[in-house]
Amino acid sequence: MSDCHDTPVQTDSRLSVKDVNAPLIALAGQPNMGKSTLFNLLTGLNQHVGNWPGKTVERREGHFNLDGRTFRLVDLPGTYSLTANSPEEVIAREFILCEQPSVVVAVVSAANLERSLYLVAELAALDAPLVVALNMMDVAAQEGLHVEPQVLEAALGLPVVPMTASRAEGVRELLGVVQEVLNGKRTLGPRPPEVRADHREVLEKIEGLVAAYVPAPYPQSWVALKLLEGDTEVARTMQAALPSEIWESVQAVLRQHDDAFLAVASGRYEWIGRMLRAAVTRPRIGQIGLTERLDRWAAHPLWGLFILAGILGLVFGLTFTLGTPLQKWLDGQIVVPLAGLAAEGLAGAPSWLRGLVSNGLIGGVGSVLTFLPILVVFFAAFALLEDVGYMARAAYVMDNLMHLMGLHGKSFLPLFLGFGCNVPAIMGTRVIDSRPARLLTILIAPLVPCTARMAVVAFIAPAFFGANAIWVSWGLVLLSLLALISSGGLLNRVIFKGQRSAFIMEMPLYHIPNARTIALLVWQRSLSFVKKAGTTILAMSLLVWVLSYLPDGNLNTSFLARFGHFIEPVGRWMGLDWRLTVALLASFPAKENAIATLGVLFGNSHKAGLAGTLAASFSTASALSFLVVTMLFIPCMATVAVTKQETNSWGWTLLSVFLLLAISVAAGAGVYHLAVLLGL
Amino acid sequence: MPKSNHAIPLAEIHPGEEVVVREFRAGRAVGSRLASLGLTPGVRVNMTQNYGRGPLIVTVRGTRVALGRGEAAKIIVERGADE
């Protein structure tokens, strides 16, 4: 818990001024309850994805209109409880306590009421106006569960609206009830749960001790409850607020009851049990659900791995068969003619300006943007697997392998995303609960070969290896993964001292994917990639171009070439001459720049010609080494930028860069000398 | 049949068996996360998948929860407790 001023509500700048006074509605709910589906349904494209202030937790805010009135909607992070187990949980409760939304809509699943009401039990203790959205009525019906919303409503003392967000059913009714609460036409009388009987006395004792000192927005009974639960954030706040002798007595009481969190949790489940006995009729459990049948294969320790490998193969196959022709088409039909057109249009301008625009600007950024189709296909496949519920199974079957690196299954998900692009992979490490495990995953994520690196391989490998190019490509991918596993294992031992975080993860039910949810996910991930291309990549492409132009407009005597010659001795270890070394350096703004740079260096931007020229200029050993180093080289600029953003530390960011530099130089030198020994 | 019906780590329970959670031998941070997913002392747990190595899946309060073997070894359960 922090001071409320730390978390100002930042109004989306794209919302107009009148909207600031619009009623604020918060969506709360556990993961896999359909909360995002509801949020997307209400806001559509009127939403903005950012970060919570000072945190690397995604913040989604949007607005919608109803009967001529505008509403602001904030999607709180999906959390199982509101105890300070994770930053998400602290954010959700601080938002409700400090920003005091007009209504909090708690999304629960009718098919899984027992677990999903746990969060409602926590929310009810916060004194916020609460409306329960009883989602997934269709799934409950399929499973033969009979849930009576009006009985639940009476038992909870809160409005309960049955709905099926995936089919947009019940949304009007939900908004109607929200309006009634806003207009004061509904009186709420929640009956929050009590702690288990054997701990009521100690709770009263704590409340009595702290009563006079609880800071402003926090309800005192809630503070006492959280202290009893051993909540670290609340404890820190109260330690500051209480006179030291009172804090000592509170501590003394808490020390005698260090397992009290179980009494609090049990009290909540007892409360939930009463609600369920009233409102839910359960059939005799007999039939095996679809999820269980699918999981016999998908979560099997052996078959599960085969299925995962098959799905991965399918995703990559699809990505490259659909995305690559589009990428080539964009490059050939749009970027190259555009650059030519610009050069023509600027015929009268000084040659440096012509080069800057057509090579630096259009050539650099344009070629990065042509990767968008490949990424869109990959992101769509990933989002589909995520929405269907498969990704939890992938994490589960990969748990054993991830243990080699002291990580657990959850780290596999961001690494998988890294095959598309390392940038969302590093952002995706947010799913990992412990900071050491998250940092380790961030450090090794750039070793996952992304589509841009595979594009370089796809261009160079056939020139040198002909029909064997496919095997060389697979070998390079395997080498990258080997580097990933061994450096992960090593880092875990050296830096993280073999720490392991707990693997506790819900396995959601499989369900029919929601097109809207997937489309929005793809849209948001693609948009952040385009934004990167428009800013950081643009700046770096221009810088590289300027360095290759100055001081006299001749590449072979430019600053870039001089720098290439300067570090050529390092390149020599790996069998690379100054041109290949410069191409590697130029891959920093964007990996696929390596090819464009070679094109410039050999004065031969026509790609078909370049492949032949390269094959004639370098030995197979040098080519192999170049490919290996390209695969493992320092992360691209966008990845470095996002690493800084997510770790919030230059130390870790630099470590990430040096780690990959060391690995790539070592691997390149090793492969080169081995290849020379083998007579390549 | 197994040696004892009392105080067995959850990790040793066979698939299809139903047991009652007795206590956690993990710290409060892990215990609190388990509790928020429905694993509290006294709750009935059904072992859904356990191949003797690697992670396992239990069904608790209608939710399927995957647990690492290390975590499951710290959850102490009791067999055949008919309360």
- Tell me: the pLDDT tens digits for A531-570? 766 776 677 777 877 887 888 777 778 888 888 888 888 8
Rounded to whole angstroms, how far apart are CA atoms A217 and A4? Answer: 8
Residue A253, both tokens: 């009481």
d(CA A391, CA A385): 6
Residue type, A313: G
Task: Give the C-alpha distances (Å, rounded to integers) separating A69 from A14, A132, A133, A139, A174.
Answer: 17, 22, 21, 32, 15
Instruction: Tell me the chain B residues in contact with residue A81 when contact means C-beta distances shorter than 8 Å.
Output: 32, 35-36
Quick check: B81 pLDDT over 80? no
pLDDT of residue A244: 93
Q: How far is A393 from chain B (nearest CA, A)?
A: 9
Angle at A228 between CA A224 and CA A231, to 5 degrees: 95
Smallest CA–CA distance, residue A500 to chain B, in Å, is 10
pLDDT at A608: 56
For residues B42-47, give the mean pLDDT.
93
What residue ranges of chain A have pLDDT lower than 50? 6-18, 286-287
pLDDT for A332 equals 79
> To the nearest whole angstrom, how far is the Cα of B35 from the nearest Cα of chain A?
6
- Alpha helices (H) along A364-514: 366-369, 372-388, 391-397, 399-403, 412-417, 422-428, 435-444, 451-465, 469-494
Ramachandran class of A498: left when φ > 0, alpha when ψ lies in -120 to 50, beta otherwise: left
Q: Which strands, in side-by-side order, build the sheet including A130-135?
A: A47-51, A58-66, A69-75, A24-29, A103-109, A130-135, A160-162
What gap in Å lies between CA A143 and CA A110, rounded to an integer?
Answer: 10
- Provide the 10 A C-beta neighbour count for residue A314: 11
**What tokens does B32 get?**
């609190």
Give ipTM to 2 decimals: 0.92
Judged by a CB distance cut-off of 8 A, whether residue B25 touches chain A is: no
Q: Looking at residue B83, what is its pLDDT?
A: 46
Q: Check residue A283 and give its pLDDT.
A: 64
Cα separation, A439 vs A653, in Å, equals 10
**Which residue, chain included where needed, has tokens 């849930």?**
A147
Contact (CB<8Å) B66/A506 = yes
CB–CB contact A115 B38 (8 Å)? yes
Separation of alpha carbons A154 and B16, rounded Å: 37
On the question of a cis peptide bond just before residue A8, with omega within 30 degrees of 0, the verdict is no
Contact criterion met (CB < 8 Å) for B65 and A506: yes
Q: The whole model's pTM is what? A: 0.82
Give per-residue burial for A5-30: e unless 16+ CB within 10 Å, then b.
eebeeeebeebeeeeeebbbbbbbbb
d(CA A151, CA A424): 44
Q: Do A262 and B48 touch (CB under 8 A)?
A: no
CB contact under 8 Å between B62 and A114, yes or no, is: yes
- At A16 the pLDDT is 43
Q: Which of A566, A577, A602, A405 is nearest to A493 (CA)?
A: A405
What gap in Å lies between CA A428 and CA A420, rounded to an integer? 12
Number of H helices, E strands in chain B: 2, 6
Q: Residue A7: its pLDDT value, please?
A: 43
At residue A15, the pLDDT reads 45
Please report how the helices A260-279 and A220-228 are oriented relative to each other, as an axis angle in degrees rounded to 10. 120
> Which chain A residues have a beta carbon less than 8 Å from that of B64?
291, 295, 506-509
Q: Do A230 and B32 touch (CB under 8 A)?
A: yes
B28 touches chain A (CB under 8 A): yes
Determine the residue among A288, A293, A504, A510 to mutate to test chain B binding: the one whose Cβ has the most chain B Cβ atoms within 10 Å: A504
